[in-house]
Structure 1
């Protein structure tokens, strides 16, 4: 594989996500679970990653952190 091909696959993976079929299924099920939890909960606020045991939550950006402080 050439370096150009590697960069092309890396860009594809960054845009479209993992090639792991199990993680894709887990993400779909987690999306459904988060929607149901938010609809049936009084406080809501559930995120998709809350229902994905094999995924890590993305780190908070500086802008999000500054917004949460105010």
Structure 2
């Protein structure tokens, strides 16, 4: 989390500076913001926006693509146990 804050200009130019500058409450507020709105990285936000449009275009043409098919820099979430068992059978 500290890396992401510093890389996006929050709290200072180094992790040590950010730790010294930000209060515990501010860090918790940034964590809550990130959990609610996603990554602070503009590139990832752009990738998500583009992927949402691409999925809509794909689906309107009868395609079956998933959101993560259009997000090469995002790790696809792992399948739950039931899904994995269905695929394994």
TM-score above 0.5, yes or no? yes
TM-score of the superposed pair, with normalisation by structure 1: 0.73
* Structure 1 residue 13 corresponds to structure 2 residue 34: yes
Aligned to 2:76: 57
Q: Which runs of 5+ in 2 are unaligned?
A: 1-21
Q: Which runs of 5+ in 1 are unaligned?
A: none
TM-score of the superposed pair, with normalisation by structure 2: 0.61
Higher normalized contact order (CA 8 Å, seq sep 6+, divided by chain length): 1
- State the distance in 2 between where 1:11 and 1:3 align: 12
- State the distance in 2 between where 1:13 and 1:6 align: 10
Consecutive aligned runs of 4 or more in structure 1 exceeding 3 Å deviation: none
Structure 1 position 45, deviation (Å):
2.8
Alpha-carbon RMSD = 2.1
- State the distance in 2 between where 1:46 and 1:54 align: 16
Number of corresponding residues? 66
- State the distance in 1 between where 2:42 and 2:29 align: 20
Aligned to 2:67: 48
